[in-house]
Each structure stands twice: as structure tokens, then as C-alpha cells.
Structure 1
Amino acid sequence: MKQSLAKGTRDFTAEEVSRRKYIINILQKNFELFGFQPLETPSFENLSTLTGKYGEEGDRLIFKILNSGDYTSKVNQEDWDNKSHQKLTSQISDKALRYDLTVPFARFVAMNHGKLTFPYKRYQIQPVWRADRPQKGRFREFYQCDADVVGSESLLQEVDLVQLYLKSFADLKVPVTIHLNNRKILSGLAEYAGITDKLIDFTVALDKLDKIGKEGVVKELLEREISQESIDKLDFLFTQSDDALENLLQLKEKFVGNEVGTKGVEELEFVLTKSVSLGVDIQNLVFDITLARGLDYYTGAIFEVKADEVQMGSIGGGGRYDNLTEVFGVKNIPGIGISFGLDRIYLVVEELGLFPAEATSKVEYLFANFGGEETLDALKLIMQLREKGISAELYPESAKINKQFTYAEKKGIKNLVFLGEEEIKNGTVTFKNLEAGEQKTVSLEEFLG
């Protein structure tokens, strides 16, 4: 039987694992620089913990886990005969793989809020699973790297997360633009156009602007029973300038007397102006009035990060979700968080050729095996190198030297070491740098440095 991978999953080679670690190490260093502490949660949660938090589409994409044993024994026969999948799911599955890191984090905070010091800042780097249609940059199993703050309503948290995004991507040498919006602005727009009851329909259509264009959005709004009169009032959305603050000023004029919309504009204006005051180039910040992202739990600021030089969709995103812990019975714990999409970031860094040589883990020395007493001396020297934190290994068999050369080259080992009878007698080591093609003999002391 021919072996294959499950759709939307991947194996990672030594080089890929090393490069992923390179990205993770940069993110982890910055998370800790900004005062975040690590947290890990289980790979699966109770199904009830996850459902109802991501909207109807999100619920469909949750990977359910079948109950142990004979999971059909308690199934209602009528539901089985009718193939009623929604009713059957609750009877055959009560666990699911986590869909993201935010909801499990909210569950953790709800369970432990009496023990935590607020504001509580945590970062989490773990895999998540979604039963999505695989495509470039979209997988069914992928890592998220999240940083969240709960227990503070201060907009300085938003400003700090903008800084965290920009510093992390600067360290990775990836030029990015941060797109920002505010959930209150979207609510204000719906109120301004007289379609408050159609808020979700409005934002779902608007969120597709970059994919289907103005004509497509208008068509979809009409299909969702939003009147032409309301659409005409929103026509200015399709002619935004490149100046984020100018666009906000235009909105402020339209939102006179619109409390929720005005509040959203003020919050976003605070984040933009404070970020600029801290030295952020306004060109790196875009007020994207069409940005909606997960309306089911965002309540304020919304972020999305896009790479400037690669067509990849978002490589990071997040926002404020002041009511998330409330669904777990704990009220009044405001929160805000951002996520880095490790897999997409990897593809961007790879496409731009930005991985440094040291991002790939390679063995420094391979000792040739001559098959005699020299082998023990080679193993002793290898032990000394390892004590110094230098990677080294002995070719396991006494094979022809060409075979040992080929092994070293294919594995990307930097140096091939010859510790023969002559070298042992003279207290020297001969080694060949396989990258430069140079061979030299040095004293044992000089070799160990």
C-alpha cells in the first residue's frame, strides 16, 4: 500500500525544523522582551468549550474526536436513520482538537482568574487544527504564536502590540504593513447606513472587497437584502485615501451623533497617533475600513499583518475581545491579543531568501573511521568537542573514504576529520573544510581551541 500524508499536513525535514526554530526563537525572545510569560494548553478540549465561539463557518471547521469505545452505542436510532449530523455529533463526540489558541486561553483564564495577577500577559506557541480546504499557505495542522493581555482596558496595550509586531518582523527582516480597524467603527457604519440589524451581513460582504471588488460587494449586499439607499450612503468606503488619519477624520465627520462609531474612531486615532509618536512610520500602518476578522468575539481594535513583497494573505492578526471569558461564566475581564502565523511567515522568509546560514543546524565535524585502534582516540576527541558544545560524530563503519566523503557532503557536514596513526603519534589533527576545499593539519591543542 502506497503511503501518503493526511491532507493539509506536512513532514518537516531537519532543515525545515531548524528554520522553523529560527523564527520561533525570534518570536519567543520578543514575547519575553515585552513582558509575556509562556503558557501551554492541551491539544484537545471539550467540544462545548470550542463550539459557538467562531461563528457558524468556524464551527464546521472544528475537528471532532470520536468518543472512545463503541461510540455508536448511545446514538438515537431516529437521528441515525435521518442522518442528522448536528444531533449525531453531540452523541458520538464530546472532545475536539483546538481550533485556535485564544478560546483555550480564555477557558484557562476563566478557570484560574482567582490565582492570576492582572493584567495577565501570556504567549503561547503550539499547533492548532482546522478542517479547512488546503491551499498555499493554508494547512489543516499549523502553528500559531500568540501574545495576549487580559485584565486591562488601556489602549496602550494596542500600541504595545503594534510595537511587538513591527520589532518581530524587523528582526526577521520581513517588511510588513499592519492593517487596523475597530469593531466599533463597523458597528457605527451599520448605524450610519441604517442597517444595524444587518451588521454581520454587511461586514461579511465588505471583508471580501480585495477579492471581489466594489461591484461584487455591492451585488452581495443587495443579495443580503441591504437597500440601494443604504449602499449609496456607504459608497465613500470604496474611495479611501492612503492617509489613515485623513480617512479617520472623514469618518469622524460622518459619525457626528453616532456614539459607537465616534468611540471607535477615537480609539483607533489614539493607537495611530501614539504609535507615530513612538517613531512608527505611518506608511507601515493602514486604516483598513473593510477589515472585519472574526466578528464573533472581537469588540474593539482589529489587526492584520501583510508582507509587503509577497502575495500571501495575512501573516498575523488579532484584536480586542472584551467579552470572551464571559461565555465561560467570568465577566469583566477585558482582553486583547495578536497571533503570528508561523507557517505563512516561513513561506515568506523562504520566498524572500531571508533565512541566514546559521538558521540550518549542521554537524561541525565528521571523524573518518579507519577501523583500527584510532577509533577509540577519535571517540575520545569527539567527547571533548561535545563538552565544548561543538557538534561532532564518527562515521559508524570502516568504509571506503569516498563513501565517508559522500555521506559528509550529503548531510552538509562542514569538516571531515582524519585522526590516523600518524596524527595520534604526533599529537595533531588533520581536517578538510568541505565548503572551502582546504585541508590543514594542526596541533591537538589548537584544534580544541
Structure 2
Amino acid sequence: MIKPTIVKGTRDFGPVVVKKRNYIFQTIRSVFELYGFQPLETPAMENLSTLTGKYGEEGDQLMFKILNNGEIFDDASKATNSRELVAAVSEKALRYDLTIPFARYVVMNHNDLALPFKRYQMQPVWRADKPQRGRYREFYQCDADVVGSDSLLNEVELLLIYDTVFTKFGLQGYELRVNNRKILSGLAEVIGKSELLTDITISIDKLDKIGIDGVRKELTTRGLSDNDIAIIEEFLAIDGTGEEKLDKLKVLLKDSPTGQKGIEELSFVLNSGYATFNTAPIVDVTLARGLNYYTGMIVEAKAPAAVKMGSIGGGGRYDDLTGLFGLKGISGVGVSFGVDRIYDVLEELQLFPETAGQSTKVLFLNLGEENARVAFKHVQSLRNAGIAAELYPQNAKMDKQMKYADKRAIPYVAIIGESELQENMVSIKNLQTREQEKIDADAVIRFEYK
């Protein structure tokens, strides 16, 4: 007998978990639509040529490639390395994220789109990563992007979307960290090492993990002088409020037009007076995610420190993402929510509302054919009124039916025994408080099922 298993890094979701996940999806979706974003879905698989080279070398390695099915691999025997072999036997891959498929969609449909185009997308993605807490091989992303607009108001609204969603979740202590790619480019310009931008940012991005001494050592090995490193250390030492940090950056990057532009953009997003945040964004000059395609604002949402989860969302401005597919001049900006990590955070902090895992509000006990027939009419009336209700399918011992309701976390049971049947009444029992009351049958539909 083969013992059933599932692939590492994937999960089954039982009914209660699915309901809680749906609570997350519905909350995020409601905010997306509140801000005027439209839904979009793309296929689970894309042509390998669409995805390859868009995420860097590591991304190419972490893609799940799909074997060409039912075809003769004539070129496979001619392959001299693994890259050639993959090309010979695979032309498709599971999508790695939602951004590149979205860019492909825009390029294919731009003549029919009303720009700016505001879309949201909530679908699974796949990565051949090493599974660990908060990191899975199959997981959902929830993205919101605006393409066809250079306005920084889009950045303001996307930050407000994060703030609104996390506030609705009751998530306190989360951090919304922001930076601008142009500020990092400005730092490289000031030290005269623009060609080492990636090397510099890779090193400073590790500040939390290896400390300033570790960063200094890494920068030395990457060919930077002591004077260069001193300027970078001054950059990393910038502190104070968001406004104070931006003022200090203006001085440090005074000789970099690119850096000044980045400071100006970030200042508008944070201090233009358009938005009032429940949790103010934090200027973080070390934030360097996605530099292979972000060109302006960079944002990362971090879980409360007590949860030790790290990032639960991120995004930024990409001025020429569609240029990867030959369509120049369409600017874009977007953010993404990491649903799976958000679930773990809400679960650990016990922030799911009690109703999030519920479906059925009231279970009518089955106490015989005549009683069940009357009960079923109540069930249908409740359903017609939008209240989830069930009738236990067979006449079983009351204790068994009550245990079923408890196991299902159904908050109420309705009892129509012989006395209730004769009196045209229904007894409603709250399974949490164990309180029971008998009400008129006509009042069943008006009862407050919490």
C-alpha cells in the first residue's frame, strides 16, 4: 500500500483554514476595489521565454519547468549542458510571480486598455525554493498595479492600500518601509562607482544580518576604497524622522541629480499632504529589493517584530517593465500582499474574527420525519434570507448531532421536538454560552445569529 503524501512546500487547506484565507482575500479584494482596481487573471503556465531572464539567474533556477508532453525530444541528445537540455525538453513554466505575466498581458492588449489601467490579481505562484517557515513552493500573491501613469499619487494610494488593509486586520506594530531606487543610484554616483550599484546595495541590504563591520568588509572585497566606504557608512548612519532623514540625504547627495530626484519623489509620497496614515511609513535607506526592475519608490511591508516573520508584502515603481516585451514608454507601480505569511501572522496573533472560520450559522437537529420536514422549511427560509443554515441529514441521537455542531464550530442549534411542534415554536441554543430559548416559529428568521 502506498502511503499518501503531498509535495514538500505545498499544503492542503481544510474548511476552517479556507474560510480564514477567504477572509484575508475578501478583505484585500474589498480594499482594492474601493480604490478602483479591476480584477485580472492569467494562466498558471507561461511560455518559458516569457519568464526567463526577468528575475535574474536565481529566479531562472527556481522556476518550475514543464516538460513538453507527448513530444519526441530530438534535440535532447544534442544538449551539451543543462541549459540546452532544458530548452530541448521544456517550453513552458509555472508562473514565478504575477508581475511579469501582467506585463505580458498589457503588451498583448494595450490597444484595448483604458490607461491608466489599475488591476488587481489574486492567484497562486510557484517557486522551487527550499521550504521553511513562511516560505512555500506554492503560494498566493495578491497584487495591485497601475500602468500608464507617471503620477506619484499612485504611490501614495498604494501605501494607503497597505495601511487600510493592515488596519482592517487589526495588525499593530507592522512596518511599512520605503526607499527610492534613485537615492541608491545617487549614492553610487557620489562615490563615482555607478557601475557597482548592485554590489553596493547587496552589501548594505545585509546590514541587519551582518552589522556595519560585516558590510564594511564586504564592500572592501567588492573594490571600494576607504573613502568610498566612509561615505556609505555616513549614508547608513542617517537617522531621525522621515523628514530629517530626507534633509540629511539632500546634503549627502547634493552632487547627484539622480539622488536629488529620488529624494524629491519620496518627499512627495510621504509629505505632500494628500494622505493621513494610521501607521506612518518609515524611510529606510538600506531597502534595496527588486533593483533589477524597480526604478523609483521601493516599499516593503514587515510583520510585527514579535512574530519573526519578516516581509509580508512589497513592491515599487517600474518605469519600463513592458519594455522587456518591446513596448516602451508605459510606466507602472505596484504592490503585493503575501497571503500565506499574513495568514500565519494573523493566526499567531489571534487576530482572526471568531466568524472567520465559520460557515453555517445554525444547525437544525433532525428529530424525526415530521419534525425534519418542518425544520427544512425553516432552513430554506433562512437560506433565502442569506443566513447559512443546515438540517442534520438523518435522525440520529441528539448527543451525536450536538457533537457534530460543536466539531463544525456552528454557533447555534435549532430544536423542534414534540412540544415545539405542537406549540409552533423553535428552541434555539447558543453552543458557546449554552443558553437556550424558545421562540415563536415565525421569529426564527428574525433571530440574531451572531
| 2-structure distance, mates of 1:170, 1:43 | 31
**Residue of structure 1 in register with 2:391 after alignment:** 394
Please state how far the C-alpha of 1:288 moved relative to its aligned partner: 1.0
1-structure distance, mates of 2:380, 2:275: 51
Map 1:20-419 onto structure 2 (within 5 A).
20-70=21-71, 73-79=73-79, 82=80, 84-175=81-172, 176-274=174-272, 278-280=275-277, 284-309=280-305, 310-419=307-416
In structure 2, how many angstroms separate the alpha carbons of the residues matched to 1:154 and 1:139? 35
Deviation, structure 1 residue 128: 1.0
The residue type paired with residue 197 of structure 2 is L
Contact 1:242 1:286 survives alignment (8 Å): no
Aligned 8 A contact 2:235 2:249 in 1: no
CA distance in 1, matches of 2:445, 2:111: 54
Q: Measure, in 1, the Cα distance between the counterparts of 2:429 and 2:76.
A: 72
Please tell me whether the aligned partners of residues 179 and 303 of structure 1 are also in contact (alpha carbons under 8 angstroms): yes
Counterpart residue identity of residue 284, structure 1: A
Cα deviation digits, residues 23-56 of structure 1 (max 9, x gap): 2212111111111111111111111111111111
Contact 2:236–2:286 (CA under 8 A) maintained in structure 1: no
| SS of 1:234 mapped into structure 2 | helix
| Aligned partner letter, 1:19 | K
Residue 433 of structure 2 aligns with which residue? 436
CA contact (8 A) 1:362 1:414 kept: no
Q: Distance in 2 between matches of 1:181 and 1:262?
A: 13
Q: Distance in 2 between matches of 1:191 and 1:219?
A: 21
CA–CA distance in structure 2, aligned partners of residues 296 and 413 of structure 1: 50
Q: Is the 8 A contact 2:76 2:89 kept in 1?
A: no
| Contact 2:67 2:89 (C-alpha < 8 Å) held by counterparts | yes
SS, match of residue 319 in structure 1: strand
**Whole-angstrom distance in 2 between the partners of 1:390 and 1:154:** 44
Query: Which secondary structure state, in structure 1, belongs to the residue aligned with residue 301 of structure 2?
Result: strand
**TM-score normalised to the size of structure 2?**
0.94
Distance verdict in 2 for CA 1:387–1:90, change over 3 Å: same
Opposite residue 77 of structure 2, the aligned amino acid is Q
C-alpha distance in 2, partners of 1:296/1:235?
A: 24
Query: Structure 1: which 5+ residue stretches go unaligned?
Result: none
Residues in 1 aligned to 2:403 and 2:277: alpha-carbon distance in whole angstroms: 51
- Quote the offset at 1:284 in angstroms: 2.1
Bigger drift between 368-377 and 62-71 goes to: 368-377
The normalised TM-score by structure 1 is 0.94
Instruction: Give the conservation status (yes or no) of the 8 Å contact 1:110–1:330.
Output: yes
Provide the C-alpha distance between the structure 1 equivalents of 2:375 and 2:87, rounded to a whole number of angstroms.
62
Show the counterpart of 2:15: 14
- Count of aligned pairs between the two proteins: 443
Deviation at 1:141, TM superposition (A): 1.0
- Residues 400-441 of structure 1: per-residue CA shift (max 9 Å, x gap): 222112111111122222223432232122232222212222
Deviation at 1:70, TM superposition (A): 4.2
After alignment, is 362-371 or 319-328 more displaced? 362-371
Q: Relative to 1, partners in 2 of residues 1:315 and 1:446: Cα closer, same or farther, differing over 3 Å? A: same
Determine helix, strand or coil for the equivalent of 1:144. Answer: strand
Matched-pair contact (CA < 8 Å) for 1:131–1:140: yes
Moved more, 333-342 or 350-359: 350-359
CA offsets per residue over residues 245-276 of structure 1, 9 Å max, x none? 2222222222223221221121112212115x
Q: In structure 1, give the amino acid aligned to 2:419.
A: E
In the aligned structure 1, how far is the partner of 2:275 from the partner of 2:392?
55
SS in 2 for 1:201: helix
Query: Cα–Cα, structure 1 residues 295 and 357, in superposed 2: closer, same or farther, change >3 Å?
Result: same
Q: Deviations over 1:123-174 (max 9, x none)?
A: 1111111111111111111111111111111112112212222122111111
Over 3 Å counting, the alpha-carbon distance change for 1:439 and 1:251 in structure 2 is closer
| Aligned AA (1:402) | D
Letter of the 1:306 partner, please give it. K
When residues 154 and 92 of structure 1 are mapped into structure 2, their CA distance, relative to the original with a 3 A threshold, is same
What is the rounded CA distance, in whole Å, between the counterparts of 1:129 and 1:383 in structure 2? 42
Distance (Å, rounded) in 2 between the aligned partners of 1:445 and 1:185: 68
Letter in 2 for 1:428: M
Is there any run of 5+ residues in structure 2 with no aligned partner, and where?
none
> Partners in 1 of 2:45 and 2:431 — Cα distance?
47
Post-superposition offset of 1:218: 2.0
Between the aligned partners of 2:417 and 2:205, the Cα distance in structure 1 is 69
Task: Report the AA paired with residue 188 of structure 1.
Answer: G
Matched to 2:223, the amino acid is: E
- Distance in 2, Cα, partners of 1:417 & 1:249: 66
Q: Which moved more, 1:421-430 or 1:34-43?
A: 421-430
Letter in 2 for 1:295: L
Distance 2:367 2:232 in 1: 79
Measure the CA separation in 1 of the matches of 2:6 and 2:203.
35
SS where residue 187 of structure 2 aligns?
Answer: helix
Farther-moved stretch of structure 1 (241-250 vs 86-95): 241-250
8 Å contact kept, 2:19–2:357: yes
**What is the identity, as a one-letter code, of the residue corresponding to 1:162?**
L
Asked if 2 retains the 8 angstrom alpha-carbon contact of 1:23 and 1:346, the reply is yes
CA distance in 1, matches of 2:424, 2:251: 84
In structure 2, relative to structure 1, the CA distance for the partners of 1:228 and 1:78 (3 Å cut) is farther
